[in-house]
């Protein structure tokens, strides 16, 4: 099993420092937050993209995901812009050699069936370019579709192998779904698992792994049963909680905790 962390935990950190940090703390990959305020985003030109690739290659670190912010179920009259947003993320991932693009549901308060249909239509439209580019688009369990059952309503409509899911274990737990149920729903479509820890449902300030209430051992154990070639990615949401402890000082202990959970699952 491979381990990664998200740059959401080190907002704005220059790419050379991100790659060096991953190598120094024993992680195999990094999930890159793709946003205009970050070093990596869809506005990078070919030279800048090549520089990112070279920096991670120099440290032997895999770029796991382009973590975009496209909200595929959102009500949006400009379908062309939404399509371009998805295509741009796919092409960025292709150029960086990342196997995955992360997208959100973002269905808001609309009727669930309408949100499902909108998300499925947009994902299906982006799937051929993803297939051509060797990239898989992953819908994260989040916001309007926070459980595995919610995500599966969309993925069942899409029915394309280049469209799958990220299991964010916090959101399925907050949605009241048991890990065994989430895993059973998502496993056939799963790209990888995002791990994190929090104090309670009412306090989602990020904590070191193992210091909170999320059932990480159960989730990791279920996922480890799928095989040894998957990815666990620590999404530490420092960007949204600036008073939380800095991630770099937690990474080594976090890796050790995940390795212990994986050893217990064998």
State the average pLDDT over residues 231-242.
Answer: 97
The total domain count for the chain is: 1
Q: Following CA atoms 174, 168, 71, 176 in sequence, which dihedral angle do they give, to the nearest 10 degrees?
A: -20
- CATH number of 27's domain: 3.20.20.150
Containing structural domain, residue 83:
2-265
- Cα–Cα distance between 28 and 6 in angstroms, integer? 12
Residue recorded with tokens 């179920």: 73
Confidence band, pLDDT 50/70/90 cuts, at residue 239: very high
- Cα–Cα distance between 1 and 230 in angstroms, integer? 5
Is it the case that residue 128 has pLDDT exceeding 90? yes
**What does the pLDDT read at residue 162?**
98
* Ramachandran quadrant class, 176 (left: phi over 0; alpha: psi -120 to 50; beta: rest): left
pLDDT tens for 182-207 read 999 999 999 999 999 999 999 999 99
**What does the pLDDT read at residue 228?**
83
Mean pLDDT of the chain: 97
- Cα–Cα distance between 137 and 89 in angstroms, integer? 9
**What does the pLDDT read at residue 16?**
98
Query: Nearest 5°: phi and psi at 244?
Result: -70, 150
Confidence band, pLDDT 50/70/90 cuts, at residue 136: very high
pLDDT tens for 65-111 read 999 999 999 997 788 999 999 999 999 999 999 999 999 999 999 99
Per-residue 3-state assignment (H helix, E strand, C coil) for the chain: CEEEEEHHHCCCCCHHHHHHHHHHHCCCEEEEECCCCCCCCCCCCHHHHHHHHHHHHHHCCEEEEEEEEEECCCCCCCHHHHHHHHHHHHHHHHHHCCCEEEEECCCCCCCHHHHHHHHHHHHHHHHHHHHHHCCEEEEECECCECCHHHHHHHHHHHCCCCEEEEEEHHHHHHCCCCHHHHHHHHHHHEEEEEECCCCCCCCCCCCCCCCCCCCHHHHHHHHHCCCCCCEEEECCCHHHCCCCCCCHHHHHHHHHHHHHHHHHHC
Confidence band, pLDDT 50/70/90 cuts, at residue 266: confident
**What does the pLDDT read at residue 78?**
83
**What does the pLDDT read at residue 90?**
98
State the average pLDDT over residues 153-163.
Answer: 97
**Structural contact between residues 208 and 169, judged by C-beta atoms closer than 8 angstroms:** no
Is it the case that residue 234 has pLDDT exceeding 90? yes
């Amino acid at each position: 099993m491979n381990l990664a962390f998200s740059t959401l935990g080190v907002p704005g950190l220059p790419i050379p420092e991100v790659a060096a940090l991953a190598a120094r703390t024993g992680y195999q990959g990094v999930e890159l937050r793709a946003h205009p305020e970050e070093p990596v985003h869809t506005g990078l030109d070919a030279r800048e993209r090549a520089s990112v690739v070279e920096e991670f290659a120099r440290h032997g670190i895999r770029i796991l995901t382009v973590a975009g912010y496209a909200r595929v179920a959102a009500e949006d009259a400009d379908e062309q812009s939404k399509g371009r947003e998805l295509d741009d993320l796919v092409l960025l991932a292709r150029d960086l050699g990342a196997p995955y693009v992360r997208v959100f549901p973002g269905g808001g308060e609309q009727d669930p069936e309408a949100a499902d249909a909108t998300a499925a239509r947009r994902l299906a439209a982006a799937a051929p370019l993803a297939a051509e580019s060797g990239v898989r688009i992953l819908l994260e369990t989040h916001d309007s579709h926070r459980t595995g059952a919610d995500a599966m309503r969309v993925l069942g409509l899409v029915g394309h192998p280049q469209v799958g899911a990220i299991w964010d274990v916090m959101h399925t737990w907050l949605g009241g779904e048991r890990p065994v149920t989430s895993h059973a729903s998502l496993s056939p479509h799963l790209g990888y698992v995002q791990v994190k820890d929090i104090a309670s449902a009412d306090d989602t300030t990020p904590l070191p792994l193992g210091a909170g209430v999320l059932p990480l051992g159960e989730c990791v154990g279920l996922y480890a049963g799928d095989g040894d070639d998957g990815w666990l990615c620590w999404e530490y949401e420092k960007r949204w909680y600036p008073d939380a402890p800095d991630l770099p000082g937690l990474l080594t202990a976090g890796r050790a905790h995940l390795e212990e959970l994986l050893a217990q699952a064998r």
